[in-house]
Amino acid sequence: MGVYLSRFRRPSTGEDITYLRFAFCGALGAFETQRALDAGIVRTVWLSADEVRASAARHRSPLVLRCMEDYLAGQRYPLSLIHTDPSVLHASAS
């Protein structure tokens, strides 16, 4: 769907944070009840688009809303946009 970059300063610590997000869309598989959540995420919940918009102040990044809006607008790019050099999969001995 897209590649997104965001930067902000955490008010509590002054820490400078940069997010780089790659957003993909596809068919949803089965819910994995035993899968551990990422640090800082306390639960999963399904929301409507209006509910996501209304909760924007609680998002970890403004990219959450931007990705959803781009998806709803029909923004799509082919997976061929992403190229992985073989060196990523087969590290050379140095």
What pLDDT shows up at residue 24?
Answer: 94
Instruction: Give domain status of residue 82, yes or no.
Output: no
Asked if residue 91 belongs to a domain, the reply is: no
Q: Distance between CA atoms of 1 and 76, rounded to whole angstroms?
A: 4
Domain housing 13: 2-76
CA distance 75 to 32: 28
Full-model pTM = 0.73
Specify the pLDDT at position 93.
Answer: 56
The per-residue pLDDT for 78 is: 92
Using a 10 angstrom Cβ sphere, with 0-12 exposed, 13-18 middle and 19 or more buried, the burial of residue 67 is: buried
Torsions phi, psi for 2 (to 5 deg): 180, 170
Whichever domain contains 70, its CATH number is 3.90.79.10
Four-CA torsion 49, 21, 79, 83, nearest 10 degrees: 180
Supply the pLDDT for residue 42: 84
Could you tell me the two tokens for 94?
A: 């140095």
Closest CA to 53 of 72, 77, 25: 72
Confidence grade of residue 94 (pLDDT, cut at 50, 70, 90): low
Residues 17-76 have pLDDT tens digits of 888 999 999 998 898 888 888 888 888 888 999 999 999 998 878 899 999 999 999 999
Q: Are strands 16-23 and 2-9 parallel, antiparallel or unpaired?
A: antiparallel
